[in-house]
Amino acid sequence: MFQLDLKSRESIYEQIISQMKELIVTGVLKEGEKLPSVRELSRILTVNPNTVQKAYRELERQGYVYTVTGLGCFAASLADIRRDETAIHQLTETLRTTLRQLTYLGFTRQEIDALLDRLFREDHQHRNDTEKGSEST
């Protein structure tokens, strides 16, 4: 389910958050499905329970999960997820810079469209492969 990269520049806490988000957004974790307990996930990942707790709190703050006292954490509805306008703005600026750089390298609008289409297909395939892998375990 989770694969931590100990060599990554992204902290373990951030990796847990991003992987949990991906599982929820792609539907691997269905709305209302119970997440592993903090203790269980920390044992599986061999990380400090405080790290998992911190990640769960942030996921709840962003609307990806909700907590039911005494029962645990559950995947929220996609409609409940709050859009992080600051992150959206930053990513839009990054995309704008990347588009400019591709244009400077001589890419046409059609080539950029084809590149984006290929990247979307590859990402979709990766998510399908990930989903199939989690079903077989």
Tell me the average pLDDT across 68-97: 90
Tell me the average pLDDT across 57-73: 93
Q: Are residues 67 and 90 in the same domain?
A: no
Q: Are residues 76 and 98 in the same domain?
A: no
DSSP string, 48-93: -HHHHHHHHHHHHHTTSEEEETTTEEEEPPGGGPPP-HHHHHHHHH
Kindly report, residue by residue over 116-134, the tens digit of the pLDDT: 999 989 987 876 665 566 5
Examine residue 6 and state whether it is found in any structural domain, yes or no. Answer: no
Q: Are residues 123 and 99 in the same domain?
A: yes
pLDDT of residue 137: 47
Examine residue 115 and state whether it is found in any structural domain, yes or no. Answer: yes
Examine residue 128 and state whether it is found in any structural domain, yes or no. Answer: yes
Kindly report, residue by residue over 13-39, the tens digit of the pLDDT: 999 999 999 899 888 899 999 999 999
Examine residue 1 and state whether it is found in any structural domain, yes or no. Answer: no
pLDDT of residue 39: 95
Examine residue 7 and state whether it is found in any structural domain, yes or no. Answer: no
Expressed as residue numbers, the domain containing 43 is 12-80
Query: Average pLDDT over the chain, rounded to whole?
Result: 89
Examine residue 23 and state whether it is found in any structural domain, yes or no. Answer: yes
Q: Are residues 110 and 89 in the same domain?
A: yes
Query: Cα angle at 42 between 14 and 30, to 5 degrees?
Result: 70
Structurally, how many domains does the chain consist of? Answer: 2
The pTM is what? 0.69
Q: Are residues 54 and 23 in the same domain?
A: yes
- Please state which of the ranges 22-26, 57-61, 101-105 shows the lowest mean pLDDT: 22-26
